[in-house]
Amino acid sequence: MAPCSLCPPASPRRALLRRPKTLQAVCKECFFDVFETEIHHTIMGYGTAEQLDPTRPGHKARPGLKSLFTRGERVAIGASGGKDSTVLAYIMTLLNKRYDYGLDLCLLSIDEGISGYRDASLDTVKRNAEQYALPLKILSYSELYGGWTMDRVVSEIGKKGNCTYCGVFRRQALDRGADLLEVDHIVTGHNADDVAETVLMNVLRGDISRVARCTAITTGGDKQPQRDDGQDDADRLESLLPRTIKRSKPFKYAYEKEIVMYAYFKKLDYHSTECIYAPTAYRGYARALVKDLEAIRPSAIVDLIYSGEALASSLALPGRRAGGEWDAQALVDAAQAQAADGGADAAQAAAAVAGVLKGRTAGRKKTAQVQQSCARCGSMTSQRLCQACMLLEGLNKGAAKVDVQQQAA
């Protein structure tokens, strides 16, 4: 094979592989180095190597970007035993030491109760905890949701739609686990392929406000975890404060293929079986499409993410609400401020548009949703009961096919 394109030109090693992300021929050592450095850059808020490349229009280093973490933070790694979260646990441990982030790391696993799948992957997580010397907490759906495991849910509702239950339950279970562990922040192994798929799915559904949310590298973090050392786990589960825990995706720009290669060359111990209850059909199509596009042009993945980010920032224009709807008053204020700066023509035009919009939105139902605590479990929700409690109610009543799409925020 050709000489490594990242080694010093005077003494290059032989390339061993082609980087899936850039198609550069690289040696193993340079592959490890560039992969780890890109994750470090993502964590530090520098962006990816591509974002820093001044030849790429619109993707220059953005000065206002901040590090994902603060020194001293307690961070739980969502650990499923699969390739992404195993590499994440390894890399977080490595970078925390190498760059002295000062993080207190631990592993948090949710046992969904899928026999023949999760039990085997949890054994892997237990080994990872020893290999990386990280404390591990395992929390099960069964203990959180009154005996409902995913095996039981599927036997009740069938395979169709089961991923909705699992996703809603897991999200809440991770928050509850974070409370028990008293952590400030959860990181997950969602990678660039996952984010690109989600962007595509939301675009295909015409759900642009979700595009904005799914490209955010960090979400939540609006309240601090409850700290009370006098309680045992069961008591704490009963007394959770309403809040959303901060969540981040350090692999947002890392390609799935590179994660697999990294795990392979580092000989990491991970579990590689797919969930027996299979992913939802629609995501499956988006996944296949992203993989086809990647085969034609590898940058398609990161370009889809950039497109999602660009849509997200256009939603954040002055005068726009989080859901993407124009706020007439804010639009007029922004236009008047612009006029004061000398942009009188633009201001007049914007004020005229705002007038039209005001008329058009006057009779429309107000869509702003107020966050409150779930009347049953105390989790943050925009309705009286959170999604998990509504789904549980359906299961317990034997009327399990609740239309969660309607209930989704």
Ligand X SMILES: Nc1ncnc2c1ncn2[C@@H]1O[C@H](COP(=O)(O)OP(=O)(O)OP(=O)(O)O)[C@@H](O)[C@H]1O
Contact set with ligand X (CB under 6 A): 78-80, 82-85, 108-110, 112, 170, 188-190, 194
Ligand-binding annotation for 80, yes or no, is: yes
Of the pair 137, 243, the CB lying nearest ligand X is at 137
CB of 150 to ligand X, least distance (A): 10
Interaxial angle between packed helices 208-215 and 300-315, expressed in degrees from 0 to 180 and rounded to the nearest 10? 110
CB of 289 to ligand X, least distance (A): 17
CB of 123 to ligand X, least distance (A): 13
Ligand-binding annotation for 79, yes or no, is: yes
In 158-247, which residue ranges form alpha helices assigned H by DSSP?
162-181, 192-205, 208-215, 233-238
Of the pair 110, 254, the CB lying nearest ligand X is at 110
Question: From the centroid of its chain, how far is CA 96?
Answer: 20
Place of tokens 């997950």: 188
Classify strands 17-18 and 25-26 as parallel, antiparallel or unpaired: antiparallel
Ligand-binding annotation for 194, yes or no, is: yes
Of the pair 80, 379, the CB lying nearest ligand X is at 80
Of the pair 233, 333, the CB lying nearest ligand X is at 233
Of the pair 108, 245, the CB lying nearest ligand X is at 108
C-alpha 366/C-alpha 330 separation (Å) is 16
DSSP collapsed to 3 states, 268-335 = CCCCCCCCCCCCCHHHHHHHHHHHHHHHHCCCHHHHHHHHHHHHHHHHCCCCECCCCCECHHHHHHHH
Of the pair 334, 388, the CB lying nearest ligand X is at 388
* Residue 37 CB contacts under 8 Å (≥ 6 apart), including other chains: none
Of the pair 59, 83, the CB lying nearest ligand X is at 83
CB of 348 to ligand X, least distance (A): 49
C-alpha 277/C-alpha 149 separation (Å) is 13
C-alpha 89/C-alpha 189 separation (Å) is 9
C-alpha 29/C-alpha 45 separation (Å) is 24
Number of neighbouring beta carbons within 10 Å of residue 145: 23
DSSP 96-160: HHHTT---EEEEEEEE---TTTHHHHHHHHHHHHHHTT--EEEEEHHHHTTT--HHHHHHHH-ST
CB of 125 to ligand X, least distance (A): 8
CB of 190 to ligand X, least distance (A): 5
CB of 83 to ligand X, least distance (A): 4
CB of 140 to ligand X, least distance (A): 10
Tokens standing for residue 286? 């988006």
C-alpha 233/C-alpha 29 separation (Å) is 44
Of the pair 266, 376, the CB lying nearest ligand X is at 266
Which residues are bridge partners to 246 per DSSP?
185
Which residues fall in the annotated binding site? 78-80, 84, 110, 189, 194
Which residues fall in the annotated binding site for ATP? 78-80, 84, 110, 189, 194
